[in-house]
Amino acid sequence: MSSAAVAERPAASTRQRPVVSARNVSKRFSNGTLALSDMTLDIMPGEFVSLLGPSGCGKSTALRIIASLGEATTGTIDWPTSRIDSRGKPASSIGFVFQEPTLMPWRTVFGNVYLPLRLKGQSKSASRERIMAALETVGLGDFAKAYPRELSGGMKMRVSIARALVTEPAILLMDEPFGALDEITRQKLNDDVLRLWHEAGLTVVFVTHSVYEAAYLSSRIIVMGSRPGRVVTDMPIDSPWPRDEGFRSSEDYAALSRKVSDALQHAIHQTGEAA
Ligand SMILES: Nc1ncnc2c1ncn2[C@@H]1O[C@H](COP(=O)(O)OP(=O)(O)OP(=O)(O)O)[C@@H](O)[C@H]1O
């Protein structure tokens, strides 16, 4: 992938129906931990939304519930524009990128990206074109035959992104995907994700506890308070596009980062009903 960031910002329309809508979602784990409390949120088509909050505030829990990887204790998740499958889940609509690349070491890069299509019963030969297109998108077209052990941390994360994109999801959910990477690789992947978001017309929900990452990437930042997690501040981000090296060194970015940092501090000091 090229490191140049997007040329312009795709417009997220407020007249459209949300891709996903969470209403009064709470989550209490079986050990009694109240991770989320009354979280309400609409994600609109074309948005790049960051969920920003302190460690342990429930960001991953919220994302997993949105992805149907976990159940809400109370509240609802709706997918107003998606076809719902027999299990009540949005069919083919979600791509999920975990904190770790979670690749199968015994399979090649190609085999790892094939996995979600294999699970849908599609043959390898029929999937080849889509897999190669996904690998090209993340700049790994030449690495289809490589094994994970031959790749750097950033390349493994690219494979993980290709695996999420190969089903052509309506929404890409990313759970702090670059937290374990060095700063230069992280910045490069930030630029690449922005490019993908722009070129593929994706809707992205991105979990992070980095103020700087959220400020750089987002068209909207949801700031969550300390556990139990809920929306404390919902900030549309009006900073100009493109987001690139020029933006990174701009006064606009510094001012935005200060504003987001203040919002995070405010959210952390809201009294959480730790339970
Ligand atoms: N399966 C589980 N069982 C019990 N408690 C859990 C479980 N998963 C998460 N928790 C707890 O729920 C709270 C929220 O966790 P979560 O991982 O969603 O937070 P987070 O904001 O994503 O944290 P981080 O930024 O550190 O990844 C934490 O107190 C965590 O210990």
Per-residue model confidence (pLDDT) at position 3: 44
201: left (phi over 0), alpha (psi -120 to 50) or beta: left
Whether the complex's predicted ipTM surpasses the cut of 0.90: yes
Per-residue model confidence (pLDDT) at position 2: 45
Does the Cβ of 138 fall within 6 Å of ligand 1?
no
* Total-model pTM: 0.90
Judged on CB neighbours under 10 Å (0-12, 13-18, 19+), 8 is: exposed
Weakly modelled stretches of the chain, pLDDT under 50: 2-4, 273-275
Using most ligand atoms within 8 A of CB, pick from 61, 226, 273 the residue to mutate for ligand 1. 61
The CA 61 to ligand 1 mean position distance, Å, reads 6
Per-residue model confidence (pLDDT) at position 4: 46
> In which element (H, E) is residue 235 found?
strand 231-236
Per-residue model confidence (pLDDT) at position 12: 55
Per-residue model confidence (pLDDT) at position 270: 77
- Atom 12, ligand 1: residue with shortest CA distance: 35
Tell me which DSSP letter residue 53 carries. -
Per-residue model confidence (pLDDT) at position 37: 92
Domain ranges of the chain: 18-93+170-185+216-275
Question: What superfamily would CATH give domain 18-93+170-185+216-275?
Answer: P-loop containing nucleotide triphosphate hydrolases (3.40.50.300)
Per-residue model confidence (pLDDT) at position 117: 94
Strand arrangement, sheet containing 203-208: 94-97, 171-175, 203-208, 48-52, 220-224, 231-236
- Which atom number of ligand 1 is nearest to the Cα of residue 53? 21
Per-residue model confidence (pLDDT) at position 15: 66
The CA 27 to ligand 1 mean position distance, Å, reads 10
